[in-house]
Structure 1
Amino acid sequence: MQRVLSRGRAAAPGRLCSHLAGRLSTPVLRASRHTSLEPVSTRDVGFPYSNEFIVDGKVVDAATVVRLLEPFALEERVKRIGEVVAKRTFTVLPIVEGLYDMGNLAAVCRTADALGYGAVHAVNKADGKFKMSQRTAAGADKWLDVKMWDSTGECLAAMKAAGYQIVTTHLTQSSITIQEVDWTRPTAVVLGNEKFGVSAEAVAAADACAIIPMTGMVESFNISVANALILYEAQQQRIRRRGSHADLTPEEQMALKAVMLTKTVKESQSVLSELLSRPPPSWQAHTFKKLAKEAAEYEAAVASRMGAETQQGAGVGS
């Protein structure tokens, strides 16, 4: 698991959410091979990245980060990042509760990345003890926003505050199937640990309990298998009902592309610092002026569109 650097802001007092790397003394997914730049701020739930980065005390927007770092990455990798970003969503969020086997977390991360999900959250076991595993995430955690919570209550309260419905994988008399869940809504799906399933606290906080229909003699799936089935069902339902699994705005796609490039280019922070410290050659001055003008026009168009949407919403409400 990569060692996640500070996001550029101090943790709030009593804040119970952090990156998993910071919670454990032993790396459990993979080790970072280089230092990457991080956005200036994030959110714990939802799309986590800002559109701004801090380089040498200066604010740099995501578009500038992308423009400067792309030449340092292989063309195939840049193309692949663009394809991945265009198919990402943070609207459906898998949460592993009471984690015991770190290999299962690695498997959850790998599946989430492969199916176009941008984040995986986990809740610590009360005793903080984990079973280590030789299984890895195959680098998937590098491309995901992986966070650890100390409390189920705090985690699910944050999800609800952000507008997510809570679905637990648990069998009750009122349980529905995963096919009956509306995955087009912002949804946090809680997967129980390998020994005891989801906690009573999670069940009490859930908007719905869901099961995976089974027709064999066994009564449950391994957590990594259950996660794969659930995330695939959610992806396919979103495609059928929305026409697309992905739902990032152009601004969010640019921010995510910048984040992925900072994780691709070795010592990205040093590279950006050096490039930003150099004045552009005189023969490139007209190019930078043109880019600045295009950026200003784009920002004006976005502001105009947002203003129109706000007025339209006000008209509907009246």
Structure 2
Amino acid sequence: MQEVLPRSRTAAPRRLCCRSASRRLAPVLRASRHTSLEPVSTRDVGFPYSNDFIVDGKVVDAATVCRLLEPFALEERVKRIEEVVAKRTFTVLPIVEGLYDMGNLAAVCRTADALGYGAVHAVNKADGKFKMSQRTAAGADKWLDVKAWDSTGECLAAMKAAGYQIVTTHLTQSSITIQEVDWTRPTAVVLGNEKFGVSAEAVAAADACAIIPMTGMVESFNISVANALILYEAQQQRIRRLGSHADLSPDQQMALKAVMLTKTVKESQSVLSELLSRPVPTWQSHVFRKLAKEAASYEAALASKGLEQGAGAGSP
């Protein structure tokens, strides 16, 4: 990594607000526009989604959302979503701090999605000025949990409170290589901006500073390249040491599948609202009543048989 003196940075005057901050990064962080249906609750750090969704004021679980929306998506897309969900992790979280070129941020999102990471966080540039780029995330941000923060301090404090170790890409006398980082632990890795690197505040809050070993004449990688190398190393280490990069529970996988389906099916909220408001079709009502009657008869027969056997066992 480039050896530079970290620039001091003052915290943004406004209180942390992930959603309002994301509007300033709207040309790249388009996640809010993609999501048609929001889970009941979300978390800023870690796996972000609850297993329940709100539709017309009613709580609907993720399994129901999946069951109702799957017929409206191509079978190949549903299969692809399931494959992606099964390989996701939110345990390692890339954070980009104060980037100037939005093309680099788009590239970070694309790499994160491709390597099985579920989230990318960004700390806003202090002056709010960004260089736009023709490069895009190729829709990657649609499938990620993308959050923006106004302050490095509050962002990293939230990471530590959630149990994440903080690793910054910064060269010091005590820096370790990215191969020496324990990526099996919940880890937030901070990548700095193109000119100054990570801030002094990020370095001070870090549990470790890490570098990518280099053997050429150049002294640094492009931020998007550095991100790709780091996330690939983390993925491979987790596979070697844990046997798998992915670590979502079945409930988390179901919740994430539901979120992805809501982003796949157009007007997903309207579709769910309509399906949930319809009464059970007549033919289904008849079938349900018949099955219920048969089940009641079967249980009554079993109970009667049990009583008869009990009476026989007690007779002389």
Give the TM-score range, shorter chain. 0.7 to 0.9
- The verdict on how the C-alpha distance between 1:215 and 1:78 changes in structure 2, with shifts beyond 3 A counting, is same
- The verdict on how the C-alpha distance between 1:63 and 1:35 changes in structure 2, with shifts beyond 3 A counting, is same
Deviation at 1:40, TM superposition (A): 1.4
Q: Is the 8 A contact 1:184 1:238 kept in 2?
A: yes
Deviation at 1:38, TM superposition (A): 1.2
- The secondary structure found in structure 1 opposite 2:190 is strand
Deviations 1:229-272 (A, max 9, x none): 00000000000000000000000000000000000000000000
Deviations 1:247-304 (A, max 9, x none): 0000000000000000000000000000000022243358889999999999999999
Bigger shift: residues 18-27 or 256-265 = 18-27
- The verdict on how the C-alpha distance between 1:247 and 1:12 changes in structure 2, with shifts beyond 3 A counting, is farther
Bigger shift: residues 278-287 or 207-216 = 278-287
Bigger shift: residues 245-254 or 280-289 = 280-289
Tell me the residue number matched to 1:312: 309
Give, in whole Å, the separation in 1 of the partners of 2:89 and 2:232. 13
- The secondary structure found in structure 2 opposite 1:188 is strand
TM-score (normalised: structure 2) = 0.84
Q: Is the 8 A contact 1:122 1:148 kept in 2?
A: yes
- The secondary structure found in structure 2 opposite 1:19 is helix
- The secondary structure found in structure 1 opposite 2:48 is coil
Tell me the residue number matched to 1:89: 89
Give, in whole Å, the separation in 1 of the partners of 2:3 and 2:285. 39
1:231 is the counterpart of 2:218: no
Query: Structure 1: which 5+ runs fail to align?
Result: 306-310
- The verdict on how the C-alpha distance between 1:26 and 1:204 changes in structure 2, with shifts beyond 3 A counting, is closer
Deviation at 1:228, TM superposition (A): 0.1
Query: Structure 2: which 5+ runs fail to align?
Result: none
Bigger shift: residues 3-12 or 118-127 = 3-12
- The verdict on how the C-alpha distance between 1:17 and 1:301 changes in structure 2, with shifts beyond 3 A counting, is farther
Give, in whole Å, the separation in 2 of the partners of 1:316 and 1:204. 79
Give, in whole Å, the separation in 2 of the partners of 1:129 and 1:36. 29
Q: Is the 8 A contact 1:3 1:32 kept in 2?
A: no
TM-score (normalised: structure 1) = 0.84
- The verdict on how the C-alpha distance between 1:68 and 1:298 changes in structure 2, with shifts beyond 3 A counting, is farther
Deviation at 1:28, TM superposition (A): 2.9
Tell me the residue number matched to 1:182: 182
Give, in whole Å, the separation in 2 of the partners of 1:272 and 1:158. 34
Q: Is the 8 A contact 1:7 1:39 kept in 2?
A: no
Give, in whole Å, the separation in 2 of the partners of 1:234 and 1:298. 56
Q: Is the 8 A contact 1:235 1:245 kept in 2?
A: yes
Tell me the residue number matched to 1:9: 9
- The secondary structure found in structure 2 opposite 1:167 is strand
Q: Is the 8 A contact 2:89 2:247 kept in 1?
A: yes
Q: Is the 8 A contact 1:39 1:52 kept in 2?
A: yes
Q: Is the 8 A contact 1:4 1:22 kept in 2?
A: no
Q: Is the 8 A contact 2:99 2:124 kept in 1?
A: yes
Q: Is the 8 A contact 1:170 1:198 kept in 2?
A: yes
- The verdict on how the C-alpha distance between 1:214 and 1:189 changes in structure 2, with shifts beyond 3 A counting, is same
Q: Which has the higher contact order (CA 8 A, sep 6+)?
A: 2
Deviation at 1:70, TM superposition (A): 0.2
- The verdict on how the C-alpha distance between 1:35 and 1:315 changes in structure 2, with shifts beyond 3 A counting, is farther
Deviation at 1:215, TM superposition (A): 0.2
- The verdict on how the C-alpha distance between 1:117 and 1:215 changes in structure 2, with shifts beyond 3 A counting, is same
Bigger Rg over Cα: 2
Bigger shift: residues 161-170 or 18-27 = 18-27
Q: Kindly, what percent of the aligned residue pairs are identical?
A: 90
Q: Is the 8 A contact 1:8 1:41 kept in 2?
A: no
Give, in whole Å, the separation in 2 of the partners of 1:237 and 1:35. 32
Deviation at 1:24, TM superposition (A): 1.8
Tell me the residue number matched to 1:126: 126
Give, in whole Å, the separation in 2 of the partners of 1:67 and 1:296. 28
Bigger shift: residues 275-284 or 127-136 = 275-284
The number of residues matched between the two structures is: 313
Give, in whole Å, the separation in 1 of the partners of 2:51 and 2:280. 23
